[in-house]
Amino acid sequence: MAVAQVEERQLLKKLRWYDGFVICLANPGFMLGSLGFSVLDLGGWGAGLIWGLTALIIVPVTILYSELAAMFPHKSGGVSIYANEGWRKYTTLVGPVATFGYWIGWSVVLSFIGLFAGYLVQAAWFPGEPYGTYAFGGATIDHGYFQTPVGHVYIGLQHLITIGLIIAVWLFNFFGTRIAVSFNYLAGILLMFPLFCFTFLPFLNGDFTTSNLTYKLNDPGLAWGGLQIALVWIWVMIWSTAPEAAATFAPEYKDTGRDTRRALMSSAVFILFVNSMVPVALTGGVGPKTVEAYDYVGALNDLVGKSLTNFFVVVLCASFVISMNTATADGSRALFGISRDGLTITWLGRLNRWNVPGNAMTLDMVINILFVLFVGNLFGILVASNIGYVFANICAISAFILLRRDRPAWPRPIKLASYWVPIAYALCGAFIVFEVVGVGWFQIAGGGNLYGATKSKVIGFSVLVISLLLFLFRRVVQDKESPHWREETPTMPDENVAALLEQEMAPRTSAAPAS
């Protein structure tokens, strides 16, 4: 059995629940990156319904993750760690596949959201410069500054801005989480301004009209009476809705149980509100054509006037940088955690001198720069990455069920009531349906304008295959052992972990059990 090498450096316990909440302020940036196509397919009313429904589905998932996060306060990696701990008794293959699926779901956010920010900056201040390949859909706007030999992407100013942002976010994270979280506080406060504009200003200034809103889910000709496109969009929206990033930082919270639960729940409530309101308010205020074209500069001109648009472009781009920061911080910790558990190469399990997973962050940076330079349809790649991301969540939700059965006596600083087990079964079944329908028909999203569906699926599944190859390399070459497909798992933690769990539970001995 592989034993992860333990370094002298450890992740620092210096975060509080509100740090995790601020980290999850990234999610509105994710939503804005997909909002236009969702309004195109579903209409304003339909988009508000499905975005809100997806956020509502995620709330109980988040509650399940709060128990799992508190069970393993010594482990970093979030969803991928829960999946591995629950499944390794039955197969060791789930851990690496879930980890890389979860990681790629976060990682490509860097290139997509960065390109979105680059597009906004160029549209606002440098509209005369070459755009190159369009960020959404892969069409060619112009021939850019040059064309890459692989992928044949026309590189414009938006791409160069994106590469600069990717490098900047890497620097923020590489030199320590506190630097990144401090930046998140500033950008998170600034984000409230455009969110206020998009959510409330259409009602306050009288621009909102229901004539701008349509409900396309009952349009004739839609497959399965509209259910197919609804399920595809729930699948797409899961990655931008889930606040589980806060759980990834569980080992770094001062009070793992209390801070993890508060961070997850506050994030879930915030995301539910924003996702339900923004599609309806913004579409009703500026009209569907503006939203469908991702013309947020034009939307801001309509809502606040040209004199304030520049300010709001700055703060909107700051919110996108939060999204990129969260992607780097969360995805790198997933790789770090699973490497420490012996399920991928040792290089990814090392902390740098600032006690953060610098090697994993560097891999994120390089991969995303390659995406910008050599992949034409970044939205299609992001959707394809959801193949592994949703699979990782399926494994983690089912791990809740398996751990309740296989480790009933394991100390749980947060222990949910027994009725959460059948809820977990229902959620796992729902996510399997989302995955099957989403993978099978995601090319119909965006009005059918997501080009390269087959290529996107090949890339998505290739990441999962590579994860298995790296797992075998770790076991056979680095750990010098024969592959084994199952591992004996303890029913109780060892002495050190038990002491840590006891310490985590001590402040809450007089509190009522979580339910």
> pLDDT tens digits, residue range 226-261?
999 999 999 999 988 877 777 767 777 888 778 888
Q: Where residue 181 falls among pLDDT bands split at 50, 70, 90? A: low
Q: What's the mean pLDDT in 288-312?
A: 88
Which element (helix H / strand E) includes 376? Answer: none
503 contact partners, CB below 8 Å, separation of at least 6: none
Q: Which residues make beta-bridge pairs with 155?
A: 132, 146
Residue 138, pLDDT score: 65
Which tens digits make up the pLDDT trace of 360-369? 999 989 989 9
CA distance 132 to 146: 8
Nearest CA to 96 out of 491, 489, 483, 382 is that of: 483
Which tens digits make up the pLDDT trace of 132-148? 887 776 677 888 899 98
Phi then psi for residue 2, to 5 deg, are: -70, 140
What are 489's two structure tokens? 């798992």
Which tens digits make up the pLDDT trace of 35-61? 998 999 999 999 999 999 999 999 899
CB count in 10 Å sphere of residue 433: 12
CATH class of 21-490: mainly alpha
Residue 7, pLDDT score: 41
Q: Where residue 11 falls among pLDDT bands split at 50, 70, 90? A: low
Residue 512 has pLDDT above 70, yes or no: no
Residue 484, pLDDT score: 78
Domain spans of the chain?
Answer: 21-490
What are 84's two structure tokens? 């591995």
